[in-house]
Structure formats: structure tokens, C-alpha cells
Structure 1
Amino acid sequence: MTQTLAHDPVITKAAGDILDRGYAVVKLGDIDAGNLRNAISTAVRFFQRPLEDKKQHGSADHNYGYRPFGIEYSRVPERPDMNECFTLWSSRLDLIPNAAGVADVTDAFRDWRDSLAPIVKAILDEVAKNFGTAAAPEFEKASYLQINYCLPAPAERDLLQDKHEDGHMVTVLHATAPGLEIYHEGEESGEVRPMLPAADEVVIMPGSVLTALSGGKIAPLYHQVRNHGLDDRQSIMYFVNPEIDEPLFGWIENGDGERADIREHVQNAPSMFGLPPVEAL
């Protein structure tokens, strides 16, 4: 599959959409869509376990495995995201406490990641070529899958997640029910649009790391999640970060003819949301 993606019209269109309108929607093949469905349904069964059981599969810093409600936020700690999470970084099962007890979840997540990674690489490589760069940075060791399991929210809480950008290279997202809204024309202005991918689609949303790589040419896609009072909503994301074990330079020279090393931005972006730094695992 990876051999043919470079010339796939779906890949070419997705890269063009990111460059031209600031995001892309990609339709999946049958096998990949099946892996997506399996990852979501397997995770939902995990979230239905008792809380004390789930907590046995979360790291002390809340970065690996189960993350309970109240840790992650989009704007301020006083308004936590109205969901609990499960995350898998790279393939590092050793970082998830008692990982054998959630093997069904991690196996399903890795299958879904294996569907996504070649698609993401092909799209990002195509984007990079538009800036005179042969390929985008490697990312698999510094990227992670996360599923958000939405919790009942009080009616006065209008947003399940406040307006934010994710701070990654791109986020690949699928949601099972309405709520996601995108700011199409940038952070402070522009039309707010509901965005619900079909059952076999994902949305690819640029983050500020791609903005830094592109010298500001590709803006981060700001978004939020509205509270529609639903009791069955999940969103699953692949947060794509460049590996930073070596200097990582932007694709465009700055005013003095140099290219900025953006590793510090990559590593510290999660602090916006109360999370630990990015590592290459």
C-alpha cells in the first residue's frame, strides 16, 4: 500500500486541501474503515469498566494508557475537557501499567495506527514537496493515538472542549457524533462550521508544528466541541508529532537566511493542555 500512495489521487487531493483550505477530509478503504470501527468499539468496552479497574491502566503522569476526567483541558484548568481518555504512544506497551489487561484495546489501536501511518506520511510528504523539501519529518516514534469518551455535561456547559489548536504537526480525527466545530478562517475570525466525518472518513487538521515547519504558510486549525447533550459520543485522534532526537528545521528560511530549529516548540506544546512534554519513544 505504501508503494502506491505517493501517486494516489486521494493523497494528492488531501495535500492540496491542507494547503488551500487549511484541512482535509479523507475517505478510507474498507480494511482501514474496519480497523477504525474496531478501535472505537473495543475502547468503548474498556470505558464501560468500573473506574477503579480503568485506573489500574493509567500512568502516574496521566500520559500513557487511561487518563481520567479532570486532567486535560483546552484553555484553562478550571474548565476540563468533558471526557476521559485512553492513549497509546508509538508501540510502547511497557509505558501502560498492567498492559496485558488491555491487550484488546492496544491491539486494536495498533491496527488502526498501521492503517493511518502510511496515509499520513504520504500526505505530509506531498505537503513538504510544495516547500522544496523531499519528505516530511519522521513521526511514528513521537506520535500517539487517543480516544476521548465523552461524559454527560451540565446543560450550562456549552462546550465539551473549548476552542484550541492541538499543537501537533497534524491531528487525524474521527468522531462518532456531532459536536466538532472548526474555525475555518483562523483563530480569531472566520466562520465556525460543524464538522462530522462520515463513518469511513477522517479529518486531517494542521497544528502549530506544521505552521512552524511551513514558516506560517499553513495555519493551525482551531476547533472546539459543542455540547449537544449526547450520551454516546467518542472521538479518536492520531496526534502526529515529528521526532526530535536531532535538530528539526523549518522548511522556509527566515529573514536572515537561516532556518529555525523548532524542537522546543514541538516538545513543549502539550503544556498548553496540562500534559507532559513530547518525547521520541
Structure 2
Amino acid sequence: MTLDYARELLGVGYARISLDTEEAALLAAALEECRRFFSLPDETKSRYSSADRNFGYRPLGVEYSITADRPDLNDCFTLWSDRLDLVPNSAELAPLTGALLRWRDHLSALVSDVVGQVAEIVGNAKAPRFEAASYLQVNSYTRASGDRDLLQDRHEDGHLVTVIHTTAPGLEIWPGEECLPVETAPDELILMPGSVFADLTGGRVGALDHQVRNLGLERRMSLMYFVNPELTEPLYPWVRAADEPPADLRDKIRSHPAGFGLPDVPVL
């Protein structure tokens, strides 16, 4: 099945992934814990925010898609690798972090298989290790003012891939020239390639631009796994011209979050 998803990435520019009953239950359990967390008062959620806003809770107004004067209209919670110690007071969040990590373990295996298939197809290569540099992020949106047509402006994530599930409409993607609204069923995910994937494949797979439209919904969540290659050793494109010298991609990967108002990708 992962070979089918790899071929879909190469042919369509993104992949729709179906979950079995057990996998869908893991996702549902994680989403339920996320709903409980975001129902807490803002001052309570702030107890779980790191000083640099990179770990744990991140309030609305920090992260943006294009410019700081148009922040993403959501707050969020992030969990990097297995590093619960980076989230202040994380012992109080055991039900949430436990459900997220169980979901993450499934996604790690899925990403490894799909990216590995693509690497073999396009460059007879292997997928890079990514677990220690990747993170889960859940975005929580509430009803936004009608003067913003988009909750997030058009962008690409700058990662290797993003695996996303959304609980309500609003996500729009550009697999080609035209914008395509997409939704995910309770047992469905979308795998979106980022600019790192484009660099590794020599442009055979482009980074998928996307945005989130303001539909005036009372509540919406998206649960994402942002996958970054680990930065402990050089990373070269799988595909390049014979006379083209290899270019280490790590500096580009490390600094990309600055374009969204966030710290560099950490080495964990």
C-alpha cells in the first residue's frame, strides 16, 4: 500500500492515505485529548508554553505564513520527538502527550515507508532519518472575524513532508495551477510534500502550496506531523545532474522556520 502512496506523490503531487479501524481509533483518541486541552482557559494553557514558543503551547499571534502582520488565526500545541522535558509542566498532560505519541509512532512508520519508496524510485537512495527532528502540531481554530478571508495564507511548510488530518473544511491546496478544496474523513490523512522533498527529488515532486479559508466555523482542528530530516550528518539530493556538485541541504532545513516567525529546527 505504501508503494501506491509513493506513486501518488510522484504522479499527483500529494497522497490521500486511508486508515484501518485500529489506526482511525488512535487518531480519534488523540483528537479527543486535543479537544480537552484547547477547552482549557488561556492562562492554564500558557503553563505549558516554553520561553521560545517552540515547545508545547503556542498562543495565537506568534506564527505566521507569510508576514508577521497577518498571523495565523489559531493557537497550537507542539510535541517534538519524544522530548516531553521540553514542554513545561508536561507531567500534568500525560493523557494528551500519551495519545499524541501513540499516534506519532504510527505516522513515523508510515512516513518512513512512503518516503523510502520514493527515494528508491527516483534515486536508488534511502530515506533520511527524521524522528529526532520532527514534531506533531495540533492547530485549534475558533470563529474568526469576517474581515480575514484566510485563517492561514498560502504557503508551503518547508519540511520533508507534512501528514495532516483536519476535522472540518477549510484546507485548500495547489497540486497544479488551480486551487483545490480538500477535506479528510475520520479515517483519512493527506500527505503533502514540502520544499525539502522537492530538493531531494530534483524537483520531480514540487512543494505543495496550501492555505486555510475562513468559513466562519465555530471550531476546527488540524493535527499535523511535520517531518524534518535529522541534521547530524550531510544530506544531499537524491537526484542531480552528473556535473552538479552535491549540495548539503542542512542549513536550509535548519533555518526555514524563521520564515514563519519560529526558531531554527533544533538538534534533539
Could you state the TM-score of these two structures normalised by the residue count of structure 1? 0.93
1:27 maps to 18
Structure 1 residue 255, shift from structure 2 partner: 6.0
The gaps in structure 1 that reach 5 residues or longer are 1-9
Residues in 2 aligned to 1:53 and 1:208: alpha-carbon distance in whole angstroms: 36
Aligned pair partner of 2:237 in 244, 250, 254: 250
The gaps in structure 2 that reach 5 residues or longer are none
1:14-66 per-residue CA deviation (whole Å, 9 max, x = no partner) reads: 10010011000000111111111111110110111111111010101100000
2:262 corresponds to 1:275: yes
2:227 corresponds to 1:240: yes
Residues in 2 aligned to 1:151 and 1:253: alpha-carbon distance in whole angstroms: 45
1:46 maps to 37
AA matched with 1:164: H
AA matched with 1:234: M
Q: Write out aligned runs for 1:1-281 (5 A).
A: 10-185=1-176, 190-254=177-241, 256-281=243-268
User: How much identity, in percent, do the aligned residues show?
Assistant: 50
Query: For the Cα contact (< 8 Å) 1:253–1:260, is it kept in 2?
Result: no
AA matched with 2:17: V
1:3 maps to none
Root-mean-square deviation over aligned CA pairs: 1.0
Residues in 2 aligned to 1:121 and 1:99: alpha-carbon distance in whole angstroms: 28
Query: For the Cα contact (< 8 Å) 1:252–1:259, is it kept in 2?
Result: no
AA matched with 2:257: P
Query: For the Cα contact (< 8 Å) 2:125–2:238, is it kept in 1?
Result: no
Structure 1 residue 156, shift from structure 2 partner: 1.4
Structure 1 residue 257, shift from structure 2 partner: 3.5
Query: For the Cα contact (< 8 Å) 1:145–1:238, is it kept in 2?
Result: yes
Residues in 1 aligned to 2:241 and 2:142: alpha-carbon distance in whole angstroms: 45
Moved more, 240-249 or 254-263: 254-263
SS of alignment partner, residue 123 of structure 2: coil
State the aligned residue count: 268
Residues in 1 aligned to 2:161 and 2:201: alpha-carbon distance in whole angstroms: 13
Residues in 1 aligned to 2:205 and 2:129: alpha-carbon distance in whole angstroms: 19
1:90-128 per-residue CA deviation (whole Å, 9 max, x = no partner) reads: 000000001111111110110100111111110000000
AA matched with 1:273: F
1:199-228 per-residue CA deviation (whole Å, 9 max, x = no partner) reads: 100000000000111111110000000000
Residues in 2 aligned to 1:57 and 1:232: alpha-carbon distance in whole angstroms: 22
1:176-200 per-residue CA deviation (whole Å, 9 max, x = no partner) reads: 0000000121xxxx11010101110
Structure 1 residue 133, shift from structure 2 partner: 2.9
Residues in 1 aligned to 2:235 and 2:160: alpha-carbon distance in whole angstroms: 12
SS of alignment partner, residue 144 of structure 2: coil
